[in-house]
Amino acid sequence: MTDLTQLPDVREQRPLGYWLKHIDGAIEESMGRLFATDGLNRRGWQVLNTISYAPITIAELDETLAAFLSTDEPTLRPYVDRFIERGWAHAADDGSVALTGEGRRGHQRVSEQVGALRVRMMECLSSEEHTVLMELLQRVATHLDALPVETPCQ
């Protein structure tokens, strides 16, 4: 196993964070091109796809997609509002949001395109490698979430 206490020369071996950012950027760019004709972006797709499973409140949506929230974007409500304005979603009296018939048709069309893109993005891995990769990334994420917050020594 590699000695993880020794930092590699980043000119020769990129660290995990580099590859995660690189992959995220490549996904963002690919999906941006894919969604352009539908006036969507990656986050909009994630909101649309999440709503497609069942009615959901804004709070539940924000909790489901919490990893994508930031100080610049603390809630996904603006995406929901745009889908409502577009006629792709409607808000119920109980505060939940669901797709309309038009929204379900739009979701189906975009979903097929996303599925094809995902296949192209992962064609470099076997099914087994993809499963292992997902398990490893989830394990690292769970581990990092459980680490105590450390403050620098002064």
Q: Which domain holds residue 71?
A: 16-142
Has residue 84 been placed in a domain? yes
Query: Does 149 fall in a domain?
Result: no
Considering the domain boundaries, does residue 10 fall inside one?
Answer: no
Task: Please check whether residue 65 lies inside any domain of the structure.
Answer: yes
Backbone phi, then psi, for 23, in 5-degree steps? -65, -45
In a domain, 50, yes or no: yes
Residues 4-53: pLDDT tens digits? Answer: 677 777 777 888 899 999 999 999 999 999 998 888 999 999 999 999 99
Number of domains in the chain: 1
Inside any domain, residue 9 = no
Q: How far is CA 117 from CA 100, 105, 122, 129, in A?
A: 25, 19, 9, 18
Tell whether 70 is covered by a domain.
yes
- Prediction pTM value: 0.79
Question: For the domain that residue 42 is a member of, what is the CATH number?
Answer: 1.10.10.10
